[in-house]
Amino acid sequence: MTRISVCCGVGGTGKTTTSAALAVGRALAGERVAVLTIDPARRLADALGIDALGNDPVAVEVPGAPGRLWALMLDRKGTWDAVIRERARPEIVEKLLVNPYYQAVSTRLSGSHEYMAVEKLHDLVHSGSFDRIIVDTPPAQHVTDFFQAPERISRILDRSLMSGLLEPGRVRGAATRGAFAIIHRLAGDRVMSEIREFFHLMGDMSTGFRERSARIGEILVSPSTSYWLIANAQAPERNDLLGFLAELRERRMHFSGFLINRVQRIPSGPFPGARALHEAGAGLPGWPQMADALLQLPPRLTARAAAQRDAIHSLTEAAGGAPAWLVPDVPGGVRSLAELARLSTHLPPAAPDLPGRGGPGLWARAG
């Protein structure tokens, strides 16, 4: 059975980075794992060795890993084209692929990125080649942007909804006829005929889309699919995260916990005392003020760490005691497989989750 881990969260919190680190950790734990990522930052793509847009799994060598890792970078248009090639009647495939309305749907339609991610997920699950698939999701304000994508796209592709545009003669009611006439005037003859051709070519594929979107829906709520919420330690978006969690619970999706990313390391070891510090730069212009400012640093860092720790505990408590893992901030960004492997030691399955409030291990582990 293929397990699925989905990393969700608002933009820029580190979904792509933590997805990659989770995947490396699973390969180190002996699994055959694929990470399906969306637009990784350049240096992460370099670290994973995925140079070009790739819809097919590319093997990534993880030194010392008993398992195996593959990475894919979602190519939305390529996935749409593959879906069409697989499902449309052979004689209409080429016509459909060059139809301008199809090109707009496959590249610009809102939700189509999310839809293609779950389409790809469906294929990877059914390939039977992986123990686990880690899915990095596009930035979203709502978890539902991602999960409702199959439903939404299949509705858009539903020919019956478009029957008014396709066969205006059959529309009943003056108001509806009037509305279609306005759409027609705004869009123009050419666009209307492209749209008609699109729906004509799609023909009964919309039934196939509906069935497949129902199967994808089952995968998304299956007990073998679990969800991570990624938070930024510097500014945990508490309301967004709790909103995401409520949506997951409402849809009976399986929440694994929070991954709190970019936790700052608190410098450890003895800090020179006031006297030693003042003596160290004695005679230098401005040194006494500099030394005083430096002496403020450890209590400030400690206070900031305590505030972060409280914010994280309050988040996990508000989430009903949900587990959380702390992912350290890597100065200069994550740019190599070795760094991903190091981050993975802070993540499941290698690390236990957050110790209780006040536990000293909380920040020590983030180093």
Ligand X SMILES: Nc1ncnc2c1ncn2[C@@H]1O[C@H](COP(=O)(O)OP(=O)(O)OP(=O)(O)O)[C@@H](O)[C@H]1O
Which residues of the chain form contacts with Mg ion (CB under 5 A)?
A: 15-16
Instruction: Give the C-alpha distances (Å, rounded to integers) separating 198 from 81, 93, 136, 211.
Output: 14, 11, 31, 20
Binding flag, residue 353, ligand X (CB under 6 A): no
Residue 39 CB, nearest distance to Mg ion (Å)?
6
Residue 14 CB, nearest distance to ligand X (Å)?
4
Residue with tokens 């901030």: 329
Site for ligand X in 115-154 (CB under 6 A): 139
Q: Which is nearer to ligand X, 115 or 325 (CB)?
A: 325
- What ranges in 29-73 are assigned the alpha helix state H? 42-48
Binding flag, residue 17, ligand X (CB under 6 A): yes
Choose among ligand X, Mg ion, none what residue 236 binds, the Cβ cut-off being 5 to 8 Å by kind: none
Q: How wide is the angle at C-alpha 49 spanned by C-alphas 43 and 54, nearest 5°? A: 105
Q: What is the largest CA-CA distance in the chain?
A: 93
Binding flag, residue 351, ligand X (CB under 6 A): no
Output the residue with the shortest Cβ distance to Mg ion: 16
Q: Which is nearer to Mg ion, 4 or 74 (CB)?
A: 74
Instruction: Give the C-alpha distances (Å, rounded to integers) separating 122 from 79, 128, 153.
Output: 12, 11, 15
Residue 55 CB, nearest distance to ligand X (Å)?
18
Choose among Mg ion, ligand X, none what residue 262 binds, the Cβ cut-off being 5 to 8 Å by kind: ligand X
Would strands 54-60 and 132-136 be described as parallel, antiparallel, or unpaired?
unpaired
The encoded tokens of residue 366 equal: 């983030």
Binding flag, residue 16, ligand X (CB under 6 A): yes
Binding flag, residue 41, ligand X (CB under 6 A): yes
User: What type of residue is 171?
Assistant: V
Residue 11 CB, nearest distance to Mg ion (Å)?
8
The site that binds ligand X (CB under 6 A) totals a number of residues, namely 16
d(CA 177, CA 156): 20
Choose among ligand X, Mg ion, none what residue 334 binds, the Cβ cut-off being 5 to 8 Å by kind: ligand X
Binding flag, residue 30, ligand X (CB under 6 A): no
Q: What angle do the packed helices 76-87 and 100-108 form, to 10 degrees?
A: 130
Residue with tokens 């709520």: 221
SS3 299: helix
Residue 15 CB, nearest distance to ligand X (Å)?
4
Residue 151 CB, nearest distance to ligand X (Å)?
23
The encoded tokens of residue 334 equal: 């994550």
The encoded tokens of residue 61 equal: 């060598």
Beta carbons of 144 and 16 less than 8 angstroms apart:
no
Binding flag, residue 333, ligand X (CB under 6 A): yes
Judged by CB under 6 A, the stretch of 13-21, 55-63, 92-100, 352-360 that binds ligand X is 13-21
d(CA 268, CA 286): 27
d(CA 24, CA 47): 11
Residue 7 CB, nearest distance to Mg ion (Å)?
9
Q: Which is nearer to ligand X, 70 or 325 (CB)?
A: 325
Binding flag, residue 74, ligand X (CB under 6 A): no
In degrees and rounded to multiples of 5, residue 190 shows phi and psi of -65, -50
Instruction: Give the C-alpha distances (Å, rounded to integers) separating 356 from 178, 349, 360.
Output: 64, 19, 9
Q: Which is nearer to Mg ion, 34 or 201 (CB)?
A: 34
Build a one-symbol-per-residue string for 253-272: x at contacts with ligand X by CB under 6 A, - elsewhere. Answer: --------xx----------
Choose among ligand X, Mg ion, none what residue 14 binds, the Cβ cut-off being 5 to 8 Å by kind: ligand X
Residue 254 CB, nearest distance to ligand X (Å)?
21
Handedness of CA 24, 25, 28, 31 (dihedral sign): negative
Q: Using CB under 6 A as the criterion, which residues of the chain lie in contact with ligand X when the complex forms?
A: 11-17, 41, 139, 261-262, 327, 329-330, 333-334
